[in-house]
Structure 1
Amino acid sequence: MTRLSVNINKIATIRNARGGNNPNLVQVAIDCERFGAQGITVHPRPDERHIRYQDVLDLKDVVTTEFNIEGNPDDRFIELVKRVKPDQVTLVPDAPDAITSNAGWDTIRNADHLRKLVDTFKSDGIRVSIFVDADERMVDGAKAVGTDRIELYTEPYATHYPDNQEAAIAPFVRAAQRANEIGLDLNAGHDLSLENLRYFNEQIPYLKEVSIGHALICDALYFGLENTIQMYLRCLNRD
């Protein structure tokens, strides 16, 4: 079964809108795990508009499943990750002013930079995942820099899924097959939802983990957080 990591950035967005500590981000992380989530993901950005760097430190000794910190590896981010030592760090090339992640790494053009980052984190025993587009060349480039995993950027899949499921999934199947051939473990994330997750998971048997935040929290407004997490887990169950 593919593991579900819940991205709790949107919980922090709601909290920050009013100040104070409601909703309590740490308690939500604890509850997500209690409700069945197999991981917690956070994506701190330089302006701390949702997840704050202090949040990451507060979560360090609370998350009992798998802690995944994702983000653009500037100096502050690197220092934070090395201090926290999460189970996994996911390297994402988003600009500081990006509303949300919108592309994967060019693992060929940025090979030297990525190789140094991978070595830095792996020397601290942290599993490294690199965010990439569904492009076999980028998958090969990720393997060349020594990463443990890649995370496929799935927004293009989600966008085209309503019109043509087979066409939408095709490049992701090819990228996943290539990753499996060369010994890279596979994650996926961005705009995966109750509508499109089951099909994605069924078509890519090598999938280890999905990271889902925005859609899951939106669904939780209607269905409740516990029920929503269970709904997503059922989408990931291939039995």
Structure 2
Amino acid sequence: MGQQQSREELIYQLVNYGSTEGIKSLRSDGAGLEWTNYQGKTPLIVACMNPELYNVAKTLVELGANINAYRPGSYAGTPLHHAAEKGLELTVKLLLLHGANALVMNDDRQTPLDVARIKGYSNVVRAIENHICSFSGFLHQFCGPRFFGLFAPQLLSRKVWVVVLPCGSPSLGEPCKLELAIYTSLQDAQPRTIISLWKANMEEPNFSQPDATVIITDDSTKMRIKLSAANESDKQQLQQFCNACK
């Protein structure tokens, strides 16, 4: 038993040295990959916190390390939380590719996406959103007094990046909740507007009109969002957006 534990601890130690061959050798001898230190970090979590240990993280994932291992406490989270917190885009993509759960919340009730947004890592935000969203793309958002829009709608619209995605871990037996995130640009990590779609009403477009628009009203805040396709003739894009919201 002691020998098994020492091999597992040695794998943990080899992570910091970047010794992928040593890790593979110990694993082939039957060593486990889930040994944790006093802080609750597994070898994979350690590898996901350092940009120079990408190959080690890849090796551990391929050898069967628990990709959703959870570290409790004040620095809680899965390997994906920790990679997002450090802004490690390649490691984030590696974890997502191998089935990491992007909807797990840490002890602060933050998903890996929340962590990346707070830290300002727009590249990581895009990577996670692209993996879990049901829609992403540029749309036009109308703003300003409604009566102005009757006369010069093109002057009161701006191009925005729009994403429809699940938020938080769904409860057992309940459908996944969706949110609408609107960004001023692709370079932004923090959305300018977030609407909880399960608390909102949607007026679908009249596609017989040349300037078809969709209106989403947040029941809780009474916020009203009016959107149209980025390209006026691209009605299919607007339909895809509506389908995603539903």
TM-score by length of 1: 0.28
Structure possessing the higher relative contact order (Cα contacts under 8 Å, 6 or more residues apart) = 1
